């Protein structure tokens, strides 16, 4: 059944199949509300937009999730893309649903494929959203899955952007949460876009292989069932060929051709008890030869996301290697849905699966190692290491287990135990033998760390360590050793850099730089500048970003909006003064064209009962000319030359003052409204940041007037906001 065919009754039937006590009225209400809010909106494919939220909800029913998550899926785009508000969703569906929808909206606004610094900041926000309620991520993953399933209707460049973002972020995140089926499907859908020729070649070779060897899966599955019956073990056996991307990745990692790649088939044995798992393992190993080094027992040593299973690889028919996973039914449920199993239902009741991880504990464990990261690169490095890492399990001399990513060294082991142990490490013993600190640790090894008082981390350790926690601790220690010297050197570099652009290095300027660079203090900015972790140009640009030259290729302001019909003209609404880069919507007026509003403009409530007049619009991407007006509400000191300096700063950021109005005049300060002409919303933010760094500016904010009158309203905008007309 396609999403276009799913009705409210169909969705309720899907939910009640696993949760008969679900709130049918609330789900139906959410279905009707979402459909009404998205009325008149369409996807790139031409389908009504509401088919997308319905499809997302249906995906989540496959994971047997609770009512709040299903309702959030139906409403997840309403606050962002329609006239619906947080308050309204809260009033109708409750605080839990409203906060979940708001969380998904904030995640949607993250541009996760941006520069590394922004990507690190967005990863921080992503983990913050996860820590508040993990179901936000479950909805977002289902949202991305449906978008990838229907990606062909998008422009080729957008397809490639979304596919890379999916491969880099969402697929590993699904895997980290234990949702392996979703990770594999996301990877395969992204692979289809990024490398269609590679995927097609894998599929062609599979077809050739099946023609030559017959149905290998059915034969091996039958053989396994026979062996389990001989051992009197009740179990289900399933076999499958691995996904094209999984095979492609193995070919790249092992630098092997398809014909030499062995383990392209996978089999699962589902038993009734943990004891039967080990009995089944014995039966399989008696019948087929185990491949050395390919055995993992995640039952005795579970993964942090709750995953439990025995993995082994054996040589099957004709010497072909096959991977076998053995687990119980409850373990299998967690393996299928991962952390989502915490909210799942089974047999009509909320599942109390003993292997499902408590989401709060899981998130706390996941984010603990990131809390110490002080800068963007460290944090991003730690996140990627954690999300992509395969794990090895090592032991302390007392027998405690320490989990590390594959490729870790004794230094990583030392810091995993305690930062103090890592900082004072002088050597290590593995299984009783002294080894160099760069040795790669392996599964099952016992590691003893040798420490000495007075020892401090060495700079060479950064090349030896692999975990984000170890690298961050080493960098932090190295910074502290020469901190005073670096601060003094940083002061000299900063003074020279700001003098070069005719600016002064004041405490306020450095505080502004620290806030924008997400550092703790001005001293931290200077220390990193002195240690070459920051360049002087980065510090200057953090306060005065528009001192850098911009491209001369500009978008024609008459054609700046996408979504208008041929021949339609548009005006920017003076109430909200939308800028390029902001989300916008159009309201049609007979004989007057279209008025463009920001999506959060208060005046849009006047047209709530006239949805036929709404247009879904967006700004052209690219470099816009500085012709778009916005109003600043500025409070500054009443001193000689202050207004002149403010006007000079505005001019230096390539903005133009088109009007100015004093609102308040006091003996010690002025409050005024300044109408400036800008390129886009980023230009506005950089201008405000520059003015904020000025010592005599006490407060600055963007001014919006829901009922504009004379004065700062531009003549070209006058009369646009006449009373609502019938379409």
Write out pLDDT tens, residues 68-85.
999 999 998 888 888 888
Burial of 593 (0-12, 13-18, 19+ CB in 10 A): middle
Tell me the two tokens of residue 157: 């460049």
Position 385 pLDDT exceeds 70: no
The mean pLDDT value for 97-122 works out to 65
Give the Cα separation of 163 and 157 in Å (integer). 10
> What are the backbone angles phi and psi of residue 262, rounded to the nearest 5°?
-100, -55
Q: Name the active-site residue from 80, 168, 272, 602.
A: 80
Position 549 pLDDT exceeds 50: no
CA 191 to chain CA mean position, Å: 19
Position 310 pLDDT exceeds 90: yes
Share of the chain above pLDDT 90, in %: 18
**CATH label, 197-350, candidates 2.60.40.1120, 3.30.460.10, 3.40.50.300, 3.20.20.450:** 3.30.460.10
What residues contact residue 64 under an 8 Å CB cut-off, 6+ apart? 18, 19, 337, 344, 345, 346, 351
CB 637 within 8 A of CB 696: yes
Residue 719 confidence class, pLDDT cut points 50, 70, 90:
very low
Asked about 633 being catalytic, the answer comes back as: no
CATH superfamily, domain 363-480, is Beta-grasp domain (3.10.20.30)
pLDDT digits (tens, 9 = 90+) for 158-214: 888 888 888 877 887 787 777 888 888 999 999 889 888 888 888 887 777 777 666
Position 382 pLDDT exceeds 60: no
Give the Cα separation of 648 and 690 in Å (integer). 11
Position 125 pLDDT exceeds 60: no
Q: Just give the CATH number of 558-727.
A: 3.30.70.260
pLDDT at res. 328: 93
Position 381 pLDDT exceeds 60: no
Q: DSSP labels for 480-518?
A: HHTHHHHHHHHHHHHHHHHHHTT----HHHHHHHHHHTT
Q: Name the active-site residue from 81, 336, 378, 524.
A: 81
Q: What does pLDDT average to over the chain?
A: 80
Q: Which of 4-18, 246-260, 461-475 has the lowest mean pLDDT?
A: 246-260
Share of the chain above pLDDT 70, in %: 81
Position 529 pLDDT exceeds 50: yes
Position 264 pLDDT exceeds 80: no
pLDDT at res. 56: 93
Q: Where are the domains of the chain?
A: 3-194, 197-350, 363-480, 482-543, 558-727
pLDDT at res. 256: 55
Position 276 pLDDT exceeds 90: yes
Position 48 pLDDT exceeds 60: yes
pLDDT at res. 550: 47
pLDDT at res. 620: 85
Angle formed at CA 588 by CA 584 and CA 594, multiple of 5 degrees: 60
pLDDT at res. 718: 32
In 401-496, beta strands by DSSP E: 401-405, 425-430, 433-435, 447-451
pLDDT at res. 115: 45
CATH architecture group of domain 3-194: Orthogonal Bundle (1.10)
pLDDT at res. 415: 92
pLDDT at res. 350: 62
Q: At what angle do helices 156-165 and 180-194 cross, to 10 degrees?
A: 150
The mean pLDDT value for 382-392 works out to 55
Q: Which of 74-83, 107-116, 310-319 has the lowest mean pLDDT?
A: 107-116
Burial of 165 (0-12, 13-18, 19+ CB in 10 A): middle
Asked about 80 being catalytic, the answer comes back as: yes
pLDDT at res. 380: 53
pLDDT digits (tens, 9 = 90+) for 575-631: 899 999 888 999 988 766 899 999 888 888 888 888 888 888 888 877 888 889 999
Give the Cα separation of 584 and 638 in Å (integer). 38
The conformation of residue 446, written as its DSSP 8-state character, comes to B
The mean pLDDT value for 468-490 works out to 81
pLDDT digits (tens, 9 = 90+) for 284-303: 998 888 887 778 888 888 87
Give the Cα separation of 643 and 637 in Å (integer). 9
Residue 448 confidence class, pLDDT cut points 50, 70, 90:
very high
Give the Cα separation of 380 and 119 in Å (integer). 7
């Amino acid at each position: 059944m396609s999403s276009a065919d799913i009705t409210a009754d169909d969705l309720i039937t899907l939910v009640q199949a696993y949760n008969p006590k679900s709130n049918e009225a609330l789900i139906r209400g959410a279905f009707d509300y979402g459909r009404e809010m998205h009325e008149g909106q369409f996807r790139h494919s031409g389908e009504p937009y509401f088919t997308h939220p319905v499809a997302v909800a249906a995906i989540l029913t496959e994971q047997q999730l609770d009512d709040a998550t299903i309702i959030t899926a139906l409403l997840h785009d309403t606050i962002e893309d329609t006239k619906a508000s947080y308050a309204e969703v809260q009033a109708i569906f409750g605080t839990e649903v409203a906060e979940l929808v708001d969380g998904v909206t904030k995640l949607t606004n993250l541009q996760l494929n941006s520069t590394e610094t922004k990507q690190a900041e967005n990863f921080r926000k992503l983990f913050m959203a996860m820590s508040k309620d993990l179901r936000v991520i479950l909805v977002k993953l289902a949202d991305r899955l449906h978008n990838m399933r229907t990606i062909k209707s998008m422009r080729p460049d957008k397809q490639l952007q979304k596919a890379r973002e999916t491969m880099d972020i969402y697929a590993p995140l699904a895997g980290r949460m234990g949702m392996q089926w979703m990770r594999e499907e996301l990877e395969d859908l992204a692979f289809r876009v990024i490398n269609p020729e590679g995927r097609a070649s894998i599929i062609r070779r599979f077809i050739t292989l099946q023609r030559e060897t017959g149905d290998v899966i059915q034969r091996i599955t039958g053989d396994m069932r026979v062996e389990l019956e001989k051992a009197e073990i009740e179990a289900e056996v399933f076999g499958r060929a691995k996904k094209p991307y999984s095979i492609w990745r193995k070919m790249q990692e092992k630098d092997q051709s398809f014909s030499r790649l062995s383990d392209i088939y996978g089999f699962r044995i589902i038993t009734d008890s943990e004891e039967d798992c080990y009995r089944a393992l014995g039966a399989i190993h008696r019948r087929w030869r185990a491949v050395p080094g390919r055995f993992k027992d995640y039952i005795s040593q579970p993964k942090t996301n709750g995953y439990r299973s025995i993995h082994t690889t054996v040589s099957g028919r004709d010497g072909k290697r096959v991977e076998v996973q053995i687990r119980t039914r409850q373990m299998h449920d967690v393996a299928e849905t991962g952390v989502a199993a915490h909210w799942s239902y089974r047999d009509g009741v909320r599942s109390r699966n003993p292997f499902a991880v408590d989401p709060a504990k899981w998130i706390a464990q996941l984010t603990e190692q990131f809390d110490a990261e002080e800068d963007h690169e460290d944090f991003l490095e730690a996140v990627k290491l954690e999300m992509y890492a395969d794990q090895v399990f090592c032991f302390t001399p007392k027998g405690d287990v320490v989990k590390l990513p594959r490729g870790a060294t004794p230094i990583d082991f030392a810091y995993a135990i305690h930062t103090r142990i890592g900082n004072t490490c002088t050597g290590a013993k593995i299984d009783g033998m002294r080894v160099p600190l760069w040795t790669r640790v392996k599964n099952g090894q016992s590691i003893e760390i040798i420490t000495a008082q007075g020892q401090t981390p060495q700079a060479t350790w950064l090349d030896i360590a692999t975990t984000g926690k170890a690298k961050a601790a080493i960098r932090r220690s190295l910074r502290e050793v020469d901190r005073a010297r670096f601060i003094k050197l940083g002061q000299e570099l900063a003074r020279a850099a700001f003098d070069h652009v005719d600016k002064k290095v004041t405490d306020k300027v450095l505080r502004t730089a620290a806030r924008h660079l997400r550092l703790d203090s001005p001293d931290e900015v200077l220390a990193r500048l002195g240690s070459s972790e920051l360049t002087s140009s980065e510090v200057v640009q953090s306060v005065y970003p528009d001192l850098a030259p911009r491209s001369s290729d500009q978008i024609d302001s008459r054609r700046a909006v996408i979504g208008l019909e041929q021949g339609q003209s548009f005006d920017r609404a003076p109430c909200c003064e939308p800028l390029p880069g902001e989300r916008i919507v159009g309201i049609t007026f007979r004989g007057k064209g279209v008025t463009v509003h920001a999506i959060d403009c208060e005046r849009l409530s006047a047209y709530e009962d006239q949805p036929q007049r709404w247009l879904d619009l967006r700004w052209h991407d690219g470099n816009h000319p500085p012709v778009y007006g916005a109003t600043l509400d500025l409070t500054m000191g009443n001193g000689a030359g202050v207004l002149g300096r403010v006007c000079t700063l505005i001019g230096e950021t390539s903005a133009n003052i088109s009007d100015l109005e004093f609102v308040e005049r006091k003996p010690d300060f002025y409050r005024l409204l300044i109408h400036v002409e800008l390129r886009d919303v980023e230009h506005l933010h950089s201008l405000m940041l520059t003015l904020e760094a000025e010592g005599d500016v006490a407060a600055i904010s963007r001014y919006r007037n829901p009922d504009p009158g004379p004065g700062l309203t531009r003549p070209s905008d006058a009369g646009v906001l006449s009373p609502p007309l019938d379409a």
